Structure 1
Amino acid sequence: MIKNIVHQIYLEKISQIQNRIPISLNVPTNNNTSFSEIFNHEISSAESYTHTSSLNQYINMAAEKYDIAPELIKSVIKVESNFNIKALSKAGAQGLMQLMPSTARELQVVNPWNPQQNIEGGTKYLRRLLDQYEGDLTLALAAYNAGPSNVNHYGGIPPFSETQNYVSKVLKELGSYENSTLTV
């Protein structure tokens, strides 16, 4: 009896999530499937998408258009969303490059869940920040994470542990990509 109630609550919660964000989970209706089985299946499905040539194509097109190394774009995507096209942060950032809705609108990204539009918009924004901070990658990354107003206010990387960790992680990923021939 309790197992059925828990499963019913679980199905209701999944339904609520699906109504809030544009994802679809393949939720089996039998009571013998555990959450971890469903979760692992969904993760595998998402990971398989990230290895498609189209994602690399979008990254390379944006890299060429905005004169940014594809490895940098991949590093930002890795840290921002771990290549999850359906990523949604607590703050509301969306998609691969975690664009905030207001930033997406400003960048003329109509659908931030569309990988091509998200990569295009995120790369355009990164280029804008690199130009604003005269090519200083650490400041541009800090601004990508915390916003340019915070970088300007503090005259450098803001004293936020999240932002400091973010910059370090992206630079570490960038080093990994530059030292390998792996593609996403």
Structure 2
Amino acid sequence: MRLFRKKRVLMLLFTTFVMLLFFNSNWMSWFYPIHFKEEIKLQAEEYDVDPYLIAAIIRVESNFKTGKESSKGALGIMQLMPNTATWAMEMAKLPEVSLDRIKHEVSPNVQLGTWYLSSLIKQFDGNRTIAIAAYNAGPGNVKSWMNKGLWDGQLETVKEIPIDQTRHYVQRVLYYYEKYTDVYDKF
């Protein structure tokens, strides 16, 4: 009988500890971590982009793994295509940034990726959904879909994006964006 009481007390203590842990900490951040927060925050402020959106794109593009190169040649944690990166470096006037640095270093990759994302958001009059699609498929393709009436660029009609990969990409970025904004109180 005493052994049974000891087990019940230990189980009650353990359950209480686990409940306190979950209620007093941001345990969901274990499932939705954001790495490189300082760099993301710095570039988000510099280019006026929501840091959770940057984090969501990084999560979908590379899952925060540095030094990545996709099978199509996209570089770094924000997976910038070399032609896009070269164009963005010229437009953003970032002479100290190089393709090699973009591939291997977080700071220049996040800087250039955030600048590019900011330029897409401005190009599409603040519509982040269109900008996310353009980040994946290119602004020319997205404009073409919209001009042909294949997609109206609205959040509610994301399922109408004519290319499966881009449609899934936008849905995943929006999913992680929502999770990050729910899980984290502030960046």
RMSD: 2.0
Equivalent in 97, 119, 122 of residue 128 of structure 1: 119
* Matched length: 133
The amino acid that maps onto 1:112 is I
Change (3 A) 1:151 1:88: same
CA distance, structure 1, for counterparts of residue 62 and residue 186 of structure 2: 16
User: Is 1:138 equivalent to 2:141 in the alignment?
Assistant: no
What are the superposed Cα offsets for residues 112-157 of structure 1, whole Å, 9 maximum, x if unpaired?
1211000000000000000011111111000000000100111146
CA distance, structure 2, for counterparts of residue 164 and residue 130 of structure 1: 18
Conserved? CA contact 2:74–2:81, under 8 Å = yes
Equivalent in 43, 48, 59 of residue 78 of structure 1: 59
1:182 shift after superposition: 8.0
Equivalent in 31, 41, 45 of residue 60 of structure 1: 41
Q: Structure 1: which 4+ aligned runs deviate by more than 3 Å?
A: none
Equivalent in 150, 173, 181 of residue 170 of structure 1: 173
Conserved? CA contact 1:71–1:177, under 8 Å = yes
- Specify which structure has the higher proportion of helix: 2
User: Is 1:112 equivalent to 2:93 in the alignment?
Assistant: no
Structure 2: stretches of 5+ with no match in the other structure: 1-32, 90-96, 154-160
Identity of aligned residues (%): 39
Conserved? CA contact 1:71–1:174, under 8 Å = yes
CA distance, structure 2, for counterparts of residue 126 and residue 181 of structure 1: 22
Change (3 A) 1:129 1:56: same
1:165 shift after superposition: 0.2
CA distance, structure 2, for counterparts of residue 78 and residue 183 of structure 1: 18
1:181 shift after superposition: 2.0
TM-score, L = length of structure 1: 0.68
The amino acid that maps onto 1:61 is L
Conserved? CA contact 2:75–2:82, under 8 Å = yes
TM-score, L = length of structure 2: 0.67
For the pair shown, the structure with the greater C-alpha radius of gyration is 2
Q: Which residue does 1:98 correspond to in 2? A: 79
- Give 3-state SS (helix, strand or coil) of 2:126's partner: coil
Structure 1: stretches of 5+ with no match in the other structure: 1-49
- Give 3-state SS (helix, strand or coil) of 1:117's partner: helix
- Give 3-state SS (helix, strand or coil) of 1:107's partner: helix
Change (3 A) 1:146 1:178: same
Change (3 A) 1:51 1:172: closer
Change (3 A) 1:51 1:75: closer
